Structure 1
Amino acid sequence: MRGPSRKTIGFARRLRGNQTDAETMLWNRLRNRQIARHKFVRQCPIGPYICDFVCRERMLVIEVDGGQHAESSKDAVRDDFLRTLGYRVLRFWNNDVLGNVAGVLDVIAAALQDEIAPDAPS
């Protein structure tokens, strides 16, 4: 079977309907090609994972995380998997998005212009 499983697609659809406040805020600033005309999709299945936001043309994954992700070894494994596929991964904390969305958007815009994998903010 090509692509993600039906189970994964169904889960991604449910996640789209249950976004966090930070994800909703960021999505409202990423959608409709608002950053340098780059298209983003949300809750996108890639392999066994569902990524919060993905710009496929620039191979950029953006994750918005809450406190449960602090020091998560699973996130490191996930990021390594995505990097083996050629994706660059940026991670932001919920409070960074909610408190400084302009700064988060500046980092994303810079990463979209940069061909070299950026150091993701922690």
Structure 2
Amino acid sequence: MKKFSHNHYNPKLKEYARELRTETVSKAEKYMWKGLLSRKQTGERFLRQRPITNFIVDFFAPEIGLIIEIDGNSHWNKGDYDRYREDKLVSLGYTLIRFTEGDVIQNLDVVSERVRHVIYALRNKDSGYDS
């Protein structure tokens, strides 16, 4: 079931996404990547800094169409843009969940539980389960 196999990938943003993965990774993104999003822990393959249409999302699980965003200080004045971005991605069929950097760093267990719940709901979507 590869519903999102090429998932609106934008190769024009590939180099910028690579730069974000290697040079500007936040502490919260490191926590998520190393402490929560391994396939061994979630059963899903996650990609970091994935270009989708004109956006680069923090984490993306292509098999189930899940996008996870971590909002740091740079998001404080971008509420309207974040809403626009989220609306566009959701209109393409993706599920998007957000966490603040503080939530990830201070409450990784709570974040982990929410991510696991959403993964479960998306896997079971066709069977009538709603999150």
Query: Which residue number in structure 2 is paired with residue 66 of structure 1?
Result: 72
Aligned with 1:34: secondary structure?
helix
Stretches of structure 1 lacking an aligned partner (at least 5 in a row): none
How many pairs are equivalent? 116
Stretches of structure 2 lacking an aligned partner (at least 5 in a row): 1-7
Aligned with 1:51: secondary structure?
strand
4+ runs deviating over 3 angstroms: 115-118
1:16 aligned to which of 18, 21, 24:
21
Give matches, 1:1-122, under 5 Å: 3-6=9-12, 8-17=13-22, 18-70=24-76, 72-115=79-122
Output the aligned Cα RMSD: 1.9
> Normalising by the residue count of structure 1, what TM-score does the alignment of the two structures yield?
0.86
Partner Cα separation in structure 1 for residue 11 and residue 42 of structure 2? 32
> Normalising by the residue count of structure 2, what TM-score does the alignment of the two structures yield?
0.80
